[in-house]
Structures are given as C-alpha cells and as structure tokens.
Amino acid sequence: MRARVSHLRALLSRALAPGLAPPPARALPQITGPGESRFGAAFLGRARFFSADASTAAQGGSKPPAATAAATTGGDGGGDGQSGKSEQADAGKSVRGGPVSWLSFLLLLVTGGGIIVYYDKEKKRHIEELKNRTSAVKPGQSVGTAAIGGPFKLLNHDGKPVTEKDFLGKWTLLYFGFTHCPDICPDELQKMAAAIDKIKEKAKLDIVPVFITVDPERDTVEQVRDYVKEFHPDLVGLTGTTDEIRKVARAYRVYYMKTEEEGSDYLVDHSIVMYLMNPKMEFVKFYGKNYDTDSLADGIIKEIKEHK
C-alpha cells in the first residue's frame, strides 16, 4: 500500500512540474481492484483530475492571454465576456472616430468666422472703390462719344424734305413721340418749350426744338403741323414713311412699339428721352424724364459752354 502511494506521489510531482508534459492516461495504474480500499479509489480519481488539469494548463501556456482568458471562461460567462469586449471596442470607436469632436467643431467655428470677416472686408473695399470711381466722374459729364445719331431724310410739318444737314450750325434738341400720346408727350414737349425759352433768357442761346413722330401711320404732315403749334412756335415737327421712321429711330437708339391695338385706336410705347446735338449734329448728351424745366435748361447751358 505505501509503495503504491509513493508511486502515485511521484507521478503527481512529474505531472505538476512546470516544464514537463503530463503522462498519458495509461501511465496511471489501475489500483481500484475488488480488494482495494475506498481511500485508494478516491485518491486515484483525484490524481487523474489533477493530471488532466495540468495537461490543459501546459497546452494553454503557449496561447496568447486573450485566448487563454476566453478558454478559461465557460458557459454564459464566456459569452458575456465577448460581448463586454465588443461594447468596449464600440465605445472606443465612438470616442476616437466620431464624426464631430470638440476640436473639429472649434476649428469649424474659427474658419467660418474668418471667412465671414474676410468677405465683409472685401465687400466694403469693393464698394469703396466703386464710390471712388463714381466720384472721379462729374455728374452729368459725358465720357467719350456715344454712337447716337446719323443721317435721315424726313418731311417737316410744312411737307418739305428735311435731312440732318438742315440742322448744321445750330444746337438742336430732339424728342421722339406721337401726336395721340395722352399725357407723357405733351408734358415733355411743354418742358422742352419752357426750357428753350429759359435758355434764351438766361444765356442768350438759341436752341432748335425738334419733334419726330414714332407713329407714321397716323401722324401725317397735317396732323404733325397742328400738333407742334400747340407747344412752341419754333418747334419743328418731322414725319415720314414707316421705313424712314424706323431708320431714324434706330440711328438714335429709340425704342417704340404699338400697344393695346383696338382698330385705329392704339398707343405707342417709346423711349422718353431728349437728345442734345451740337452744331455738327453730333450727339452730346441725353436728358430723361427725371429732369424738370430748370435742371434741363441749366444742363443744356452747361454743356454748350463746355463745348465752346
């Protein structure tokens, strides 16, 4: 009995040694015979348990710590450990690889603020440059010579042929309109007549006022003659054929078009502009509807003095 117990202890020592592989299962002798005691059978069972446990530990020594930890966790505990690691990994990703961090948000604010400030400065600088360029040119001053004017051949209100050459040597003020105009044309022609008289009174200058119709279908020589007499004795009325009126309107960049046509009763939409021409029948300046009698007269006097 003692010899067998000594033998078992030797086997256990070898099995539990750190550098030795466990003996095969057949190395344990069968000591549980019919005549052996219960103490020997129990002792042998415990020896086999330690031997198997030692074998598992020796084989697992070469595995990495993560694999050993997973292997030593059994049942539901192993599943909980894996899920815990997965949650920790996801948490780490959400912290490190999130779409927006405080640093990136701060950089975005700083960059956006800088862009806004830069754009505001550039806008103010551009506006200042425009103001400086505008102030460099005096109000009402003509820069260069516009391509306005040209030769024409029409009939005056007395039925005589007239060309642009008939106005050479005189300052001329041209206005395009039509005799059936309800309000704008009469107002502009009255303003023109009053300005002509004011210019003659203030500057002793003679200006030839000219009215050119843009409605040749209705504005005959007789119709134009009766019309111009209502405004000024020096007002010259000109008319012509549809093609002749189209050519002169194109030469002076005048827009006109029939509107609200109902039989013979219609209106003509047209440019509301007066053209000042020098004695060579060259364009000097135009005056829109925003000029009143005084500003029109003063503006013409100023242009004539500057061109002398």
Cβ-in-10-Å burial (0-12, 13-18, 19+) of 32 comes to: middle
Neighbour tally for 183: CB within 10 Å = 7
- In terms of DSSP H, where are the helices of the chain? 2-16, 38-60, 65-72, 75-96, 102-136, 184-203, 221-228, 242-251, 293-307
- The two three-digit tokens of residue 58, written as one number: 């020796």
- The two three-digit tokens of residue 262, written as one number: 């109902």
| Dist CA 187 CA 184 (whole Å) | 5
Report the binding-site residues.
181, 185, 270
- The two three-digit tokens of residue 50, written as one number: 């330690």
| Dist CA 160 CA 178 (whole Å) | 19
Q: Residues near 261 by Cβ (< 8 Å), separated by ≥ 6?
A: none
Report the binding-site residues for Cu cation.
181, 185, 270
Neighbour tally for 74: CB within 10 Å = 8
Cβ-in-10-Å burial (0-12, 13-18, 19+) of 191 comes to: buried
- The two three-digit tokens of residue 182, written as one number: 């309800």
- The two three-digit tokens of residue 131, written as one number: 């103001």
Q: Residues near 223 by Cβ (< 8 Å), separated by ≥ 6?
A: 179, 239
In the 3-class helix/strand/coil scheme, how is 145-158 assigned residue by residue? CCCCCCCCEEEECC
